[in-house]
Structure 1
Amino acid sequence: MPPNNANERQPLLNGHHRPQNEDQDSEPQILSFSPKDPSNPLNWPLSSKYLQTALITLIALSCPMASSITAPAASNIQASFPGSTQKQIILGQAVFVMMLGLGPLFLAPMSETFGRRPVFLICLGVFTILQIPTGLAPNVGTFVAMRALAGFFFGSVGVANGGGTISDVFERRERARVLGVYLVGPLLGPTIGPLLGGLIVGGTGSWRWLFLLTGGLAGLATVVGYFCLFETRAVTLLLERKRALERENPGKRYVVEGTTDQGLLEKIKGNSTRAVKILTTQPIVSTMSLYQALVFSSMYSLYSQYTSIWSAPPYEFSKKQIGLTYLGPAVGFIICAVFIVLFIDKVYSALAERNGDEGQPEYRLPMANVGAVFLPISLFWFGWAVEKNAPWPVPVLATMLFGASQVSIFNCVQTYYIDAYETNAASALAAGAFLRSVVGGIVPLFVSGMFEQLGYGWGMSVFGFLSVLLMPAPAVFYWTGRRVRERFPFKG
């Protein structure tokens, strides 16, 4: 059970003082949390907060892991579907990734309307069930369709609502470190997936076992979440209190600030467009989401080519060995994530103290500049190392730097979104997820032709030159972000 108290159903803040007369019941009583109310998720014990963080991290790891788990098994899947092509198999990954971006446009606003818990549990449950027909797919059309359905709405719930949950339970100065831990999930998942996929396919010879793993992890998250995942959105908790008070006190009226009397369809229609509005009207989100889209398209393009790269001379790796090469970016992820978790709050506090204020969202961006420098270096390094047939440790070391750059950029930008758009954090994160996932899903469909024409050296250099072009973005918004936000205020 979530933290509770004996006065949970009592109104905590009245509107204004009213004379005792016959009209008293006609005036609504405003409900909100008092500063120290233990029912407020911001006041929960740290054990409860960390439990929620652990659960949403598990969700954010297990669902995106399914996006790339089939990468080392592409040839096996193609062989089991006579008449299928390599591009159709890659399409199974592409549609899943693209759906991970479309789902949050609806799921994030829905969680802001109906609460986090029901959205999490329903999506996780359906995602678990969908792994069964995916693993048993009799043809490539069914396989691609099930992958698309699993990614949309259901598999994207961790990406859509995880950041919003952390924003619910942690104050601004606390949340960056916790967010750094959580964000390892959606980044590490697409790397751990192929690692496990290579080991499983290499050991069993069948790609269908992969979906037993993804379904098992999602099912575990669903069961544990049913018992331990609490509602964290303050407005949803206050609405529950409002309904209880109205049952106990017929005739009295209660109001929760920030809510309206709109009907269900009107809420869905209005809220589902919020993330799109943020993406299209906020220059910061548009630019930084484009940057994240470059990172994701580079990652999925690279992973889609891993089997071709490592199975060819001079490497000629087995399926298991190909799976182990994914340890390169995974190690980079983890090392950089630890560094960010340890220092992002210290950097924020030092900048706030130096500038004599309580802190600005832009103070989350300085550490992103590390990734901005690492990204082009790693892309050029890997591409030309493979092109020149360098010994395998050389390109693997480049992928470690690539993994570190992803975490640095992704974590800092996500934290920046949450601080800058605090009341609409889930929708701001969904806006970024939309662009990066759609681009990250589409680009790998075309890169095989580019690599055939240009080779891996110049092919990866295309991504490297684009990363150089966007490299100044974190530094530019560190200096100008506040003025940009003031010039383009979001009115959702």
Structure 2
Amino acid sequence: MWSLVQYRQIRRDVEQDWQHKKSDNPEDTGVRQQPEHVPSGEPDYQHRDKDTGKVMVGKEGHDDPIDPHNWSLRYRNGNIAVLSLLIFAQGWAGGADSMANTDISEALHVSKVAENLSTAMYLWGIGCGCLFVGPLSETVGRNPTFLTATFVYLFFVLGAALTPTFGGQIVCRVFVGLFASATLGINGASVGDQYRPVKRAFVFPIIAWANIAAPMIAPIAGGWITSTPSLGWRWCEWITLIISAFAFVVALICLPETYLPILIDWKARHLRSVSGSDDYVSKHAETASFWGRLKQVLPMPVTFFTSEPVIAVFGGYLTLLYILQYSFLSGFDYTFKETYSLSTGMTGSCFGSIAAGSTTFMLCAPLLYRFSRHQTGDVAEAAVAPEFRLWPAMLTAPLLPVSLFWLGWTNYVSISIWSGLGACFVFGIVATAMYVSCYEYIIDAYGEHAAVALASITMVRYLISGGMVMAARPMYEGIGVHWTMTWLGCVAALLAPAPVVFWKYGAKLREKSPYAS
């Protein structure tokens, strides 16, 4: 809806600009009279390509209002609020029915392990969808990708709420994840569309919070819904549908298009209309189609993971965090419910400790922004060294194995439940800090290849996390909470030095990379 307002506004601006030029030069009859080279300061769209004879439309200088980087800060912050609501709603779907595992498995006549497929299929759907949503958003724009995918996603959430069979639930959950991948897979690109490096330090903690906290807050509601006889497990899906539908309506009304090449496409289209000439074109319209972009992107995840140490290590870090996050959806039954004899509602409420940790880090966003601004000497629109983004990761990485060992080896009925909740709180801080550092580092380090790099990491972490969700319940049952957390804590300890290593040697690695900027 709002993108339609944008489209019309660009048309009005083009028409006014065209009339102004015609009034200044009445003898100018259109594009045929435009010179091949115009003085600096004249609009870029007057530059004619010598080979094709076309006039390539572009930005009219660094401060062109069509560029989302130049929109008012208040307007951009509003866009991020809407985008965060979309992320939160579709992230909520990942953990919404986790506390209803027992009730659903009984109602659909399957085992609890089999019912974990509900979460696993959601994660696999996201992982598979991430391969396609990047090229799609760069072909048709962010706005139609977000809105169309979310609209279809709503129907599969509805299907999951109504289906009477286990097979129907699994199919619906696959497609819930597949269409949620549009929002969960390219939200970082939308941030990059609108914010220059320093201000991203303020925005990314908010986006990270929506990604991390949503699937941890959902079980709180799910636990109490499941415990209420008058509601039942299907209301977990109904609540997801209500929240998601509200987010969709808000996005439909308020979310603008932020991908600059698409906005330039619109400008070129309007110039062709007002001039009566087909000579006005944009670079984006002349480049590869969706299938061409997809052909380029499909092999890139393997290429990045095999040739880029940064992607391999940070991808492993984020994968571990997501394995932990989503395995907790089953693991809290053993960590808190069985150990402390909690009700389903109280067990779900334990996830609030992770959400609280994530929120605590998010509230540090103004401090990170101030630190970034100081690092650049308060120079407007200054670049930020990628290694600077690693400070949150360097400070919190050692806390990840600490939190896991802490959670595992204080999990006794003789030790207060608050000890375990404290460990989960620390985990929430670490998960959000690592998300922010990894995403910002990759965006700054890989420039125009950042979208592919992030898509690679997103795809791998969701696919592997989906597999580990299926192993979580047998693992907790087989070796217990203590050794499960010990094993995962040892993996975290091996990865803990990675941010420091990249802080020290990252610049040298980028020099050797064909993809780093």
SS of 1:421's equivalent in the other structure is helix
Equivalent residue runs for 1:325-474 within 5 Å: 325-339=350-364, 341-352=365-376, 358-387=383-412, 389-474=414-499
Distance 1:441 1:264, change over 3 A: closer
**What's 1:223 paired with?**
249
Please report how far the alpha carbon of residue 298 of structure 1 lies from its aligned counterpart in structure 2 after TM superposition.
1.4
**What's 1:17 paired with?**
37
- Out of 179, 188, 195, the residue aligned to residue 170 of structure 1 is 195
Residues 149-184 of structure 1: per-residue CA shift (max 9 Å, x gap)? 1101x1122221211111111111112211111221
Distance 1:308 1:104, change over 3 A: same
- Out of 132, 135, 144, the residue aligned to residue 118 of structure 1 is 144
**What's 1:481 paired with?**
506
**What's 2:345 paired with?**
320
Structure 1 counterpart of 2:367, one-letter code:
F
Give me the whole-angstrom Cα distance separating, in 2, the residues matched to 1:196 and 1:16.
Answer: 63
Query: Is 1:294 the counterpart of 2:324 in the alignment?
Result: no
TM-score (norm 1): 0.91
Give me the whole-angstrom Cα distance separating, in 1, the residues matched to 2:98 and 2:87.
Answer: 19
- Out of 80, 99, 115, the residue aligned to residue 72 of structure 1 is 99
Q: Percent identity?
A: 26
**What's 1:309 paired with?**
335
Greater CA drift, 380-389 or 289-298? 380-389
Give me the whole-angstrom Cα distance separating, in 2, the residues matched to 1:205 and 1:45.
Answer: 45
Structure 2 counterpart of 1:473, one-letter code:
A
Structure 2 counterpart of 1:90, one-letter code:
N
Distance 1:26 1:416, change over 3 A: closer
**What's 2:25 paired with?**
none
**What's 1:41 paired with?**
68
Contact 2:401–2:493 (Cα < 8 Å) also in 1: yes
Corresponding pairs, count: 484
- Out of 89, 92, 96, the residue aligned to residue 118 of structure 2 is 92
Give me the whole-angstrom Cα distance separating, in 2, the residues matched to 1:472 and 1:101.
Answer: 27
Residues 292-326 of structure 1: per-residue CA shift (max 9 Å, x gap)? 1011111212221212333324x111121112111
Distance 1:491 1:394, change over 3 A: closer
Residues 101-135 of structure 1: per-residue CA shift (max 9 Å, x gap)? 22122102211121000000101101111111101
Give me the whole-angstrom Cα distance separating, in 1, the residues matched to 2:146 and 2:176.
Answer: 14
Contact 1:108–1:430 (Cα < 8 Å) also in 2: yes
Distance 1:268 1:244, change over 3 A: farther
Structure 1 counterpart of 2:94, one-letter code:
S
SS of 1:7's equivalent in the other structure is helix
Please report how far the alpha carbon of residue 253 of structure 1 lies from its aligned counterpart in structure 2 after TM superposition.
1.7
**What's 1:108 paired with?**
134
Residues 203-246 of structure 1: per-residue CA shift (max 9 Å, x gap)? 24511001111111111122111111111000010011112222
Query: Is 1:145 the counterpart of 2:171 in the alignment?
Result: yes
Residues 253-290 of structure 1: per-residue CA shift (max 9 Å, x gap)? 23434553444533443345555544444221121011
SS of 2:56's equivalent in the other structure is strand
Residues 75-117 of structure 1: per-residue CA shift (max 9 Å, x gap)? 01011012x1111111111111122222122102211121000
Structure 2 counterpart of 1:438, one-letter code:
L
Contact 1:81–1:139 (Cα < 8 Å) also in 2: yes
Give me the whole-angstrom Cα distance separating, in 2, the residues matched to 1:24 and 1:487.
Answer: 35
Structure 1: gaps spanning 5 or more residues: none
Please report how far the alpha carbon of residue 491 of structure 1 lies from its aligned counterpart in structure 2 after TM superposition.
8.4
Query: Is 1:185 the counterpart of 2:210 in the alignment?
Result: yes
Give me the whole-angstrom Cα distance separating, in 2, the residues matched to 1:364 and 1:384.
Answer: 33
Contact 1:383–1:460 (Cα < 8 Å) also in 2: yes
Distance 1:74 1:26, change over 3 A: closer
Give me the whole-angstrom Cα distance separating, in 2, the residues matched to 1:127 and 1:396.
Answer: 33
Structure 2 counterpart of 1:227, one-letter code:
I
Distance 1:347 1:421, change over 3 A: same
Residues 373-409 of structure 1: per-residue CA shift (max 9 Å, x gap)? 1110110011111156522111111111111111111
Distance 1:8 1:474, change over 3 A: farther
- Out of 232, 245, 254, the residue aligned to residue 258 of structure 2 is 232
SS of 2:63's equivalent in the other structure is coil
Give me the whole-angstrom Cα distance separating, in 2, the residues matched to 1:24 and 1:273.
Answer: 35
SS of 1:239's equivalent in the other structure is helix
- Out of 254, 258, 264, the residue aligned to residue 280 of structure 2 is 254
Contact 1:163–1:425 (Cα < 8 Å) also in 2: no
TM-score (norm 2): 0.87
Structure 2 counterpart of 1:54, one-letter code:
A
Distance 1:443 1:112, change over 3 A: same
SS of 1:386's equivalent in the other structure is coil
Give me the whole-angstrom Cα distance separating, in 1, the residues matched to 2:299 and 2:403.
Answer: 37
SS of 1:121's equivalent in the other structure is helix
**What's 2:88 paired with?**
61
Please report how far the alpha carbon of residue 247 of structure 1 lies from its aligned counterpart in structure 2 after TM superposition.
2.8
Contact 1:387–1:456 (Cα < 8 Å) also in 2: no
Give me the whole-angstrom Cα distance separating, in 2, the residues matched to 1:230 and 1:342.
Answer: 25
Structure 2: gaps spanning 5 or more residues: 22-33, 40-45
Residues 314-360 of structure 1: per-residue CA shift (max 9 Å, x gap)? x1111211121111111111112212x12323333444559xx9531
Please report how far the alpha carbon of residue 252 of structure 1 lies from its aligned counterpart in structure 2 after TM superposition.
4.3
Structure 2 counterpart of 1:38, one-letter code:
P
Query: Is 1:490 the counterpart of 2:512 in the alignment?
Result: no
Query: Is 1:136 the counterpart of 2:162 in the alignment?
Result: yes
**What's 1:7 paired with?**
13
Give me the whole-angstrom Cα distance separating, in 2, the residues matched to 1:305 and 1:389.
Answer: 19
Distance 1:350 1:47, change over 3 A: closer
